[in-house]
Structure 1
Amino acid sequence: MKQLGTIYGINGPIVYVKGRTLFQMSEKVFVGKEKLIGEVITLDNERTTIQVYEETSGMKPGEPVYSTGSPVSVTLGPGILNNIFDGIERPLKTIAELSGEYIHRGADVKLLDTEKKWPVHVTVEVGQEVIGGTIIAEVPETKTILHKSMIPPDIEGRIVEIVEDGEYTITEPIVKVQKLDESIIEIKLAQEWPIRNPRPTKSRFESSIPLVTGQRVVDSLFPIAKGGTAAIPGGFGTGKTMMQHQIAKYSDADIIIYIGCGERGNEMTEVLEDFSELIDPKSGNSLMERTSLIANTSNMPVAAREASIYTGTTLAEYYRDMGYDVAIMADSTSRWAEALRELSGRLEEMPAEEGFPAYLASRIATFYERAGLMQNFNDTEGSVSIIGAVSPQGGDFSEPVTQNTKRFVRCFWGLDKALAHERHYPAVNWLDSYSEYIGDLAAWYRDNVSPDFVDNRRRIVEILHQESSLMDVVKLIGSDVLPDDQKLTIEIGRVIRLGFLQQNAFHSEDTSVPLKKQGKMMEIILYLRKRCKSLISHGMPMSLLQREDIFTKIIAIKYDVPNNKLEMFDQYKNDIDEFYTKIMEKNA
């Protein structure tokens, strides 16, 4: 670490160094006497501009700025899971032990524990040729996840020395590699990677496998693929965070990276407490065993908020390279965009719409483009799925962050305040939402769930749209003037809304629903509609059909049919047939 300049000017988190310097673009630097962490963001002959990831109050011109010669990076290795970091991967538990409840400026802590010894099983042999991504050792990081230590992506050569299986720290050499230039390099359990550089992969696959979440409105109507991108926009109180919690707990992703980006402190506290108490339904262990949290609350420095998104994505890519399916929950990208806006204002850049910088769209695209289902260099397959919450002011989806996000995601789950007020959760508005993955996933649904799954999904969506149009008429002139077939559409629409789309997070059978049950539920609702249409075509009035309890019975399927007893759906089909026969005989 060498001093390469002195502070000339300070503007909040922005610090200027006058004159031509030897700093590099995106270099990590230490600023001031307290050695606050910063990053070089602009360079020219007249001055260097640095964004500081910590509070700059009390800093003065003339204080030193030190070079590190390397970009802002994270440490990758065992110890990431079951941990809580700030926006630049500093462990909050360690900082709390040193400085109490509030982060002390200039806290000098190791990003990962360098003293803990991990049980290591070496998986390579002396003389073996290795490339970037080759797995050299396996470490049981938690009870749930086996950590696979890899050769860094930019190294290629031959193994010349290995250690015996045993316990080692992340800083002790595990293998030695002779590179192509004959030099010898030591490979440890831990490695560094710049947060703004995507980790390389061998190839990218098409989105052909769904990320199954257990939420019916997502899995059946608006699915997301593994390696896909989704946005959850919604106003205050519409359930964005709760929806991300449900997906984090019940989705079939192997690992969860939760990024609390600029959210309120009390909300982040709730997330931290909830995640530590949740039991992983797949393993029976704590959910934190396969989760890493990045907490960056609204009162933390904005520059660290801006970096937190890239920190979380880099951690996700690292586990993807091991062959895991990783899901990122970013809550919320609007706060991240606001950090960009504040930094842009400090830099006196020309503002675009609503004061956001002109490069807002490209930054959003850069973030979401790091998702994907990939073939790694070690020939494993892994994915990074990104689900970003968007918090438009006043629930206005026409604001710049929501609109630019829609350009780069293929799945849009628009939350509706009116549905939330009606206690309809998830409050996903089926008229505003969409998924572009339906066609890509159709073959998987056909082979793994039901041959009619996609067609049934299409018919369900059509009924919901028809019901919405008819309800506009009902609000004006009432339902009495409608013909019976349209009254049936409204009634079936109600069954779909209450019995299929609405889900109870606190009910053991309804909180998460397997795809096969979702498919059976759609089949039984459509079968009820088919039989009722037949009755109406025979002249039976809708008022007669509504006197029976069959509609209420079908709505209650979500509670009454256990997720592991799908054979019970046959009885419901028989009940509908009996209802049909009863009506026909009574009015013969």
Structure 2
Amino acid sequence: MSKGTIKKVAGPLVIAEGMRDANMFDVVRVSDQRLIGEIIEIHGDQASVQVYEETAGLKPGEPVESMDVPMSVELGPGLITSIYDGIQRPLDDIMKVTGGNSLKRGVEVPSLKRDKKWEFVPVAKVGDEVEGGDVLGTVQETIVVQQKIMVPPNVKGTVKEIRSGSFTVEEVVAVLSTPEGDKELTMMQKWPVRRGRPYQKKLAPEMPLITGQRVIDTFFPIAKGGVAAVPGPFGSGKTVIQHQLAKWAEADIVVYIGCGERGNEMTDVLNEFPELKDPKTGESLMERTVLIANTSDMPVAAREASIYTGITIAEYFRDMGYSVALMADSTSRWAEALREMSGRLEEMPGEEGYPAYLGSRLAQFYERAGHVVSLGKDGREGALSVIGAVSPPGGDISEPVSQATLRIVKVFWGLDSNLAYKRHFPAINWLTSYSLYLQDMEKWFNEEVAADWMDNRQKMMGLLQDEAELDEIVKMVGMDALSPSDRLKMEAARSIREDFLHQNSFHEIDTYSSLKKQYLMMKLVLAFYEESSRALSEGASMNKLIGMPVREQIGRFKYTHEDELDDAYQKVTEELTAEVADTFGKEDF
């Protein structure tokens, strides 16, 4: 172990001398209080350490000790339902140790409970040849999550002994014969947070992550294993969108990182998630969730580590073959922590004071997402989808964090404060948002949902874009200056906005829309426009077309139960045909 002494203290940055034998990214213990830190720069025998705890009271001459291991997380049974801080210390256990709600410095608490026993059911048997990623056995971690106990990635050998029964995470469950001798395996692995976990190969993003949110699934879908950014100003609904995705997205595991958010917002998340019912199982949403809470009043350096801690845990579940959704709220606060540490290191600042390596650090984080074939002989497929919220100051997405993020991600859900003020939620602006996965997933939507899915989406998008152009004319000269066909376009676009894109996340039925429901809603809105256009060209009354009572039924279709969709669709379609015929005053249309 490399031991040195403190030379200088600058906020969360400590300069230690006598650290010539230490390595970059080693974990260190600082002072007699044994505060945890990480080496982020080395000059000769001087090491710059970012300390993940409050450094008040530290002084030069106090000891610094390198642990000779990089910052790592513990992976094994006990992760699900846990609430950690940015460096994977369990907040409930710290509270028990400190006897209060305030975090004390220097507390050493294991990330996974050492006294809890888990029922290990072996899958492998004596004599099996195994390699990294192969499943040795399973543990039923919660009612909904079965954890696969895997051979660590860099281990290969023959199963010499495998046990069955209740064990703690530190007890040996299997012994492998390897060329280097016998190796004992426990249910727990450790993995460095700054290094992505290995896999066999990455697959193309051809399948969507269904979220049940119409504006996302229909207009700007994210692929399983894809990356998305949600930039938006204060009050535009970033957190509610992330809650909706956590609750409804077709993901087996949710990892939620509260990175530098306000303490009261994080408290809401911690209080709400256990109470949210998982629609798939009826159990609490926490039964498949890992929460990482690193609020804005916690040490700034731990904020920088929190997203790496979260994504490493997410990769571990991806390796088991699960679909994992990771929510990072918000990467702007993470970038601010990066900027603060860079300033204390006296590095040359880049744009707006952010370090020059901001873009590459963001890319390293987002590139760890993907749909992959995991290690192991069974060829399990897992997916890790990353959705990062960005909080640009004043809602200005021309600032460096938003721009660097947009260069990396393929889906942009641009939240608009004007839509939020009009109470249009989700406040995703359909004219500025985009998804670059559309072409890859066109085949899936057309084959799995309906052959004309993409055509209908394109027609609706065209109407919304036409509306934006016509709106400029209306503002200048009024609605009366428009031709009847243009007025009809405006009405159809209003129907798309108010009936299709507007979705009430607190309504028990409208909070989630299946793909089938989304398709039928598209068909109804377009049927109104197409039948009315045809009637208009044959001399029907414009005012009668706009005032048809069936339009309210089209608008209320989103409140239809999933098991009544076909009947309701048939009824509204017949009503529409009849009412369009009435606009002529004759029955043979």
Equivalent of 1:337, from 335, 355, 358?
335
**Residue 180 of structure 1: how far off its partner (Å):** 2.6
Distance change (3 Å), C-alpha of 1:220 and 1:468:
same
The aligned amino acid for 2:16 is: V
Cα deviation per residue 1:85-114 (whole Å; 9 max; x = unaligned)? 000000000011112111111111011101
Provide the residue aligned with 1:215 in structure 2.
213
Q: State the partner residue of 1:545.
A: 545
What is aligned with 1:395?
Answer: 395
Kindly report which structure 2 residues correspond to 1:350-365, keeping only aligned pairs within 5 A, or say none: 350-365=348-363
Partners of 2:64 and 2:127 lie apart in 1 by 45
Deviation at 1:579, TM superposition (A): 1.0
C-alpha separation in 2, matches of 1:87 and 1:48:
22
Question: TM-score of the superposition, structure 1-length normalised?
Answer: 0.98
Deviation at 1:47, TM superposition (A): 1.4
Match of 1:242 in 2: 240
CA contact (8 A) 2:541 2:584 kept: no
Return the alpha-carbon distance in structure 2 between the equivalents of residues 423 and 132 of structure 1.
51
State the AA in 2 paired with 1:85. Y
Alignment match of 1:321 (pick from 319, 322, 328): 319
DSSP 3-state at the match of 1:285: coil
How far off is 1:148 after superposition? 0.4
Q: Distance in 2 between matches of 1:395 and 1:469?
A: 24
In the alignment, structure 1 residue 228 sits paired with structure 2 residue 259: no
Partner of 1:571: 571
Asked if the contact 2:317–2:324 (Cα under 8 Å) also holds between the matched residues in 1, the reply is: yes
Residue 550 (structure 1) shift: 2.4
Partner SS for 2:44: coil
Secondary structure class of the residue paired with 1:418: helix
Equivalent in the alignment of 1:93: 92
Instruction: Kindly provide the amino acid, as one letter, of the partner of residue 83 in structure 1.
Output: S
CA distance in 1, matches of 2:292, 2:404: 24
Aligned length: 584
Listed one character per residue, the Cα deviations across residues 150-186 of structure 1 (whole Å, up to 9, x for unaligned) are: 01001011111111x21110000000111133x1111
Q: Post-superposition shift, 1:43?
A: 1.2
Deviations 1:471-497 (A, max 9, x none): 111111110010011000110011000
Alpha carbons 2:541, 2:583 under 8 Å: kept: no
SS in 2 for 1:565: helix
Equivalent position of 2:159 in the other structure: 159
Q: How does 1:125-144 map to 2 (within 5 A)?
A: 125-144=125-144
Kept after mapping to 1: 8 A contact 2:2/2:68: no
Contact preservation (8 Å) 2:2, 2:20: no
Q: Could you say which residue in structure 1 is the equivalent of 2:365?
A: 367
TM-score, length-normalised on structure 2? 0.98
Deviation of 1:19 after TM superposition, in Å, equals 4.7
CA separation in 1, counterparts of 2:533 and 2:587?
A: 16
The question of 1:308 aligning with 2:306 is answered: yes
Instruction: Please show how residues 375-394 of structure 1 align to structure 2 within 5 Å.
Output: 375-378=373-376, 379-394=379-394
SS in 2 for 1:50: strand
Shift, 1:3, TM fit: 5.4
Please tell me the residue identity of whatever aligns with 1:377.
L
- Look up the SS of the partner of 2:342 in the other structure: helix
The 5 Å alignment of 1:47-62 reads 47-62=46-61
Q: Deviations over 1:24-68 (max 9, x none)?
A: 111111111111111111112151111111110101111111121
Q: Which amino acid aligns with 1:130?
A: V
Q: Secondary structure at the match of 1:121?
A: strand
SS of 2:361's partner is helix
Instruction: State the alpha-carbon separation in 2 of the partners of residues 281 and 19 from structure 1.
Output: 56
Please tell me the residue identity of whatever aligns with 2:52.
Y
User: Where does residue 279 of structure 1 map in the other structure?
Assistant: 277
Amino acid at match of 1:288: M
Find the aligned partners of 2:547 and 2:5 in 1 and give their Cα distance. 83
* Alpha-carbon displacement from aligned partner over 1:440-472 (angstroms, at most 9, x marks no partner): 111111121111111111111111111111111
Distance of 1:519 and 1:459 partners within structure 2? 13
Report the counterpart of residue 497 of structure 2 in structure 1.
497
Tell me, in whole angstroms, the C-alpha distance in 2 between the residues paired with 1:147 and 1:38.
31
| RMSD of aligned residue pairs (Cα, Å) | 1.1
Alignment deviations for residues 498-526 of structure 1 (CA, whole Å, 9 cap, x no partner): 10000011211100110111011101111
Q: Which runs of 4+ in 1 moved over 3 A?
A: none
The SS at the match of 1:556 is helix
2: distance between equivalents of 1:296 and 1:201? 29
Q: Partner residue of 2:406?
A: 406
Letter in 2 for 1:194: P
Look up the match of 1:44: 43
Q: Distance in 2 between matches of 1:254 and 1:298?
A: 29
Provide the rounded CA distance (Å) in 1 between the counterparts of 2:542 and 2:472. Answer: 20
- Structure-to-structure mapping, 1:75-90, within 5 angstroms: 75-90=74-89
Percent pairwise identity: 49
The whole-number CA distance in structure 1 between the counterparts of 2:97 and 2:2 is 27
- Quote the residue 1:16 is aligned against: 15
* Greater displacement, 437-446 / 84-93: 437-446
Supply the AA of the counterpart residue of 2:246.
Answer: A
Equivalent of 1:349 in 347, 350, 364: 347
1:480 aligned onto 2:483: no
Please give the alpha-carbon distance, in whole angstroms, between the structure 2 residues aligned to 1:47 and 1:65.
Answer: 11
- 2:184 alignment partner, one of 178, 183, 186: 186
Question: Secondary structure at the residue paired with 2:258?
Answer: strand
For the residues of structure 2 that align with 1:337 and 1:533, how far apart are their CA atoms?
A: 51
- Is 2:454 the partner of 1:454? yes
- Whole-angstrom distance in 2 between the partners of 1:355 and 1:85: 30
- Following TM superposition, by how much is the alpha carbon of 1:582 offset from its aligned partner in structure 2, in angstroms? 1.0
Distance 1:480 1:294 in 2: 55
For residues 208-263 of structure 1, the C-alpha deviation after alignment (integer angstroms, 9 at most, x for no partner) is 11100000000000000000000000000000000000000011100000000000
* More moved, 255-264 vs 542-551: 542-551
* Structure 2 counterpart of 1:29: 28
Take 2:218 and 2:79, find their aligned partners in 1: how far apart are those partners? 33
Amino acid in the other structure paired with 2:72: S
The answer as to 2:435 corresponding to 1:435 is yes
- Give the stretch that moved more between structures: 218-227 or 470-479: 470-479
Contact 1:20 1:44 survives alignment (8 Å):
no
The 8 Å contact of residues 488 and 546 in structure 2, kept in 1 or not, is answered as no
Per-residue deviation, 1:549 = 1.8
Query: Deviation string for 1:65-94 (max 9, x for gaps)?
Result: 112111000000000001100000000000
Q: Secondary structure at the match of 1:178?
A: strand
Work out whether residues 226 and 370 of structure 2, in 8 Å CA contact, stay in contact via their aligned partners in 1.
Answer: yes
